[in-house]
Amino acid sequence: MISEPPSVAAPTAGTSIGQKPSHHTEDNRFTNPWPTWQEKSLMQVLKWRYNAPKRPSMGWLASNKQPTPAELREAFPVKPLDTDVFAHADAPGVRAAWIGHATCLLQMAGLTFLTDPHFSERASPFSWLGPKRIVDPAIKLTDPSLPKIDFILISHNHYDHLDTTSVKQLHKRFGQSLAWYVPLKLGPWFHALGIKNVTELDWWQEVQHPGTQVSITMTPAQHWSSRSLTDRRQTLWGGYCVQSPHHSIWFAGDTAYCPVFQEIGRLFAPIDLALIPIGAYEPTWFMGPQHCDTAEAVKIHQEVGAQRSIAIHHGTFSLTDEALDEPRTFLPRLAEEAGLKANEFQALQHGACLQIRPQQSV
């Protein structure tokens, strides 16, 4: 629980325009209030794409510049999700499985939840165009063995994090009993789909999940939002800290490295499990203000006070210029160089589970 006011304050009722928090702008949009942020222009986007190295649309491997779909599947095998691990939500400890990209299945304090659920073939508004999955999700939303989901955390509205088809399928399966926690101004998007159980949150805003002792706090991230050419930064972005009386899970969302992570650590450490992005960072001149690289991810792990971390946002979609297997290859060496213990911060296989028992320590 937040015990001290953070430096990047959330708004209070009746706040005037002149007193808006630093991430709220005068034109009712949002921004990143740190010197590490740089907004990229359309010309810079075109410069990146024009100068990008030639690579297959499905991405490449460090050892193979032209991998076939079969070779990509071999490089990123999927472990069938062991749903028995999640069969008893009231079991003590924390359970987590990496489904793919930023999607994790999590369980703690009797609750089961998902982060940024994406189960579709493409991260795009189109079914025929846009980044295509190189690795299938570890479980389908129609699988009867998928446990009941109590709530979902949405970090922001980019297509690789907010997938319309997945949202519709989850709502169809679990109905209005499924709670959605989303950034400010994203609620209307869900309401348009007939989803009513939606809670909008600002940075540092904390709510109690109904009928439980579990709290959910939205934490800042350095990123941006958009689903079209005209709605840039109209909705907020961020991560979440989920806390019970005994455990905590922090989902970083999509973020670059910025000065806020020490503050998150000051307020929430020790964190039992963190989900931290490690990929989509090349070229750094363009991606650096919006995505952290693997070394920065290790630094974030340390600054937030995570006891264990799982790598997310890699090895699922080809979004940027680095080799698809580069982030996970770099992680063990960078973690060791930073003084982390074995498996303290690890890149799981798609579908693999991590269990943290109450007496377990790193």
Domain-embedded: residue 16? no
Domain-embedded: residue 25? no
Domain-embedded: residue 38? no
Give the CATH number of the domain where residue 244 resides: 3.60.15.10
> What is the per-residue pLDDT for 21?
74
> What is the per-residue pLDDT for 127?
86
pLDDT for residue 266 is more than 90: yes
Residues 234, 89: Cα–Cα separation, whole Å? 36
Binding-site residue numbers are 159, 291
Domain-embedded: residue 48? no
Name the least confident of 37-46, 267-276, 338-347: 37-46
User: Domain range holding 67?
Assistant: 59-356
349 DSSP assignment? P
Looking at 121-186, list the stretches that DSSP marks H as alpha helix, in order from N- to C-terminal side.
164-174
Number of domains in the chain: 1
Q: How many CB atoms are closer than 10 A to CB 71? A: 14
> What is the per-residue pLDDT for 198?
98
pLDDT for residue 362 is more than 60: no
Domain-embedded: residue 303? yes
pLDDT for residue 206 is more than 60: yes
Compute the average pLDDT of residues 39-52: 89
> What is the per-residue pLDDT for 13?
37
Residue indicated by tokens 């991606």: 287
Domain-embedded: residue 203? yes
Strand partners for 200: 182
Domain-embedded: residue 51? no
Angle of CA points 296, 309, 60, to nearest 5°: 60
pLDDT digits (tens, 9 = 90+) for 126-179: 988 899 999 999 999 999 999 999 999 999 999 999 999 999 999 999 999 999
Domain-embedded: residue 238? yes
Residues 289, 199: Cα–Cα separation, whole Å? 28
| Summary mean pLDDT of the chain | 93
Compute the average pLDDT of residues 298-317: 98
pLDDT band at 361 (very low <50, low <70, confident <90, very high): very low
